[in-house]
Structure 1
Amino acid sequence: MQTPVPVLMTSCPVVAVEAVVSAGFPSPAADYVEGRIDLAEVLVPHPSATFTLRVAGHSMTRAGIHDGDLAIVDRSLTARHDDVVVAVLDGELVCKRLLIRGRRMYLMPETDDPSYRPTEVTDRPGFEVWGVVTSTVRLHRR
């Protein structure tokens, strides 16, 4: 089981640009500089209850969560239907979408790979939600 890494809060201000960016032809954005935003404040609203985990695997790609992404997980939030959660399942940490249907709960993968199957976790021993994934970080330049 991977050990959660606590998030240490430090300020991380970056320039905020109030513009829509096209993924096609580039457009200069210098006229749209709005000020600064603090990424630590935006990504980690509850620092004492937040940790990060590195995602391994491909079961959540349709949710935009890919192998190697850094998941930011907030333990202060109560998991709700359709949240992406980190949970302990039979001693292993997993990242899946939580579906609640009536009194039944399921951990659902989000992938086109049929080898990943939903898992019912209703009243299952060895199941515990550790936290809600509030965002992920993916590096595009290696």
Structure 2
Amino acid sequence: MYHQSQALKFDIPLFLSYIQAGFPSPADDYKEKSLDLNEHLIKHPAATFFVKIKDDSMIKAGIFHGDLLMVDRSLKPCDKKVVIALHEGGMLVRRFRKIKGKIYLMSESPEYRHVEVSEDMNIEILGVATTVIHPV
């Protein structure tokens, strides 16, 4: 697991003009300022961690095998949010659903099972997903 306190800062250029999918403008060849992704993506640094996704259980949510998921432990799970949970000795990523007073951890793929949470189960919600980093 990667923690925010271990983050290195890099001087990543930020070009303030919008880009086209076609040919670039010669006027866009200069750097306006640096971009600190921590500043833009991490709202609660002490409560943020990253996990790497190892299956396709959330493909309909746009989360794929190999993606990096940013998770905030300080956020409370609420209906329809994507969460990381400890269940049966491992971590899983699921959509948190509260339906008619019952809590479910729903997969976003028909090949993976949903989990109906009952009081006798040992499930811990570790945090709410805030960002998906999907390599191209």
TM-score of the superposed pair, with normalisation by structure 2: 0.83
Q: Kindly, what percent of the aligned residue pairs are identical? A: 33
What RMSD, in angstroms, separates the aligned Cα atoms of the two structures?
2.2
Cα 1:106/1:19, change in 2 over 3 Å: same
Contact 1:63 1:110 in 2 (8 A): yes
1:24-51 superposed Cα distances (whole Å, 9 cap, x missing partner): xx142528x7644321111222111111
TM-score of the superposed pair, with normalisation by structure 1: 0.79
2-structure distance, mates of 1:132, 1:99: 13
Matched, 1:134 2:130: yes
**Residue type of the alignment partner of 1:50:** T
Cα 1:20/1:82, change in 2 over 3 Å: farther
Could you tell me which residue of structure 1 aligns to residue 57 of structure 2? Answer: 59
1:91-138 superposed Cα distances (whole Å, 9 cap, x missing partner): 210001111113211111112xx3212211142421110001111212
Contact 1:55 1:69 in 2 (8 A): yes
Which of structure 1's runs of 4+ aligned residues deviate more than 6 A?
none
2-structure distance, mates of 1:121, 1:127: 8
Structure 1: unaligned runs, 5 residues or longer? none
Q: How many residues align?
A: 132
